[in-house]
Amino acid sequence: NISSLFCSGSRSSKTFKPKKNIPEGSHQYELLKHAEATLGSGNLRMAVMLPDGEDLNEWVAVNTVDFFNQINMLYGTITDFCTEESCPVMSAGPKYEYHWADGTNIKKPIKCSAPKYIDYLMTWVQDQLDDETLFPSKIGVPFPKNFMSVAKTILKRLFRVYAHIYHQHFDPVIQLQEEAHLNTSFKHFIFFVQEFNLIDRRELAPLQELIEKLTSKDR
């Protein structure tokens, strides 16, 4: 049971961020419902495409919020396995290590444990999503000129959480029977960032083989 996992362990509740809700009745909510309906068809390549007549910024915004919620939940299931002791550095296999900097509070990248890094990362993403000047939720409020570059940075960082889970915590994912859920979520994420060219190929290197495996069936 996923919900009981969230409540167990003192750390889980700290790292698990509240779900970011898109206001009901808003156009973005309609877009989210559209995304969920097309996902249900099982064709992920079709599901990520920009719906006719829709604004690209808005579509990217809705999906970014959705991916934040998905990754938040997936990481929430394995927080008990991701500790200062088990993961003293934030890594995605032996060749990739991430150091945290957000450019404002922490300007010079710092080496920190995976749980600390992911806590910084998810808090930072949440702050961006809650910023009405960056992610306007009201109809008619324009997106800022730098919206796409902000979204790209968010997605690039969210990818690192997937990469860490796959490389360091895949065993508990299998034990918890979350494997299909993780794969579907990641595949959806990859199709989305590929469709709109949102993450540099070099950034995806830690999971390149998996990406090729997951996407080759749908060419």
Give residue 78's pLDDT.
94
> CA dihedral in degrees (53, 214, 89, 78; nearest 10)?
90
Q: Is 7 annotated as contributing to ligand binding?
A: no
CATH topology of domain 65-214: Butyryl-CoA Dehydrogenase, subunit A; domain 3 (1.20.140)
Is the Cα dihedral 137, 140, 144, 147 positive or negative? positive
pLDDT at 119 over 70: yes
pLDDT at 4 over 80: no
The model's pTM:
0.88
Q: Is 87 annotated as contributing to ligand binding?
A: yes
Q: Is 82 annotated as contributing to ligand binding?
A: yes
Give residue 217's pLDDT.
67
Write the DSSP string, the chain: -HHHHHHSSHHHHHHSPPP-PPPTTSHHHHHHHHHHHHHHTT-HHHHTSPPTT--HHHHHHHHHHHHHHHHHHHHHHHGGG--TTT-SSEESSTT-EE-B--SSS--S-B---HHHHHHHHHHHHHHHHH-TTTS--STTPPPPTTHHHHHHHHHHHHHHHHHHHHHHSHHHHHHTT-HHHHHHHHHHHHHHHHHTT-S-GGGGGGGHHHHHHHHHTT-
pLDDT at 10 over 60: no
Domain map (residue ranges) of the chain: 65-214
Mean pLDDT of all residues in 20-37: 83
Mean pLDDT of all residues in 201-219: 88
pLDDT at 1 over 80: no
Q: Is 181 annotated as contributing to ligand binding?
A: no
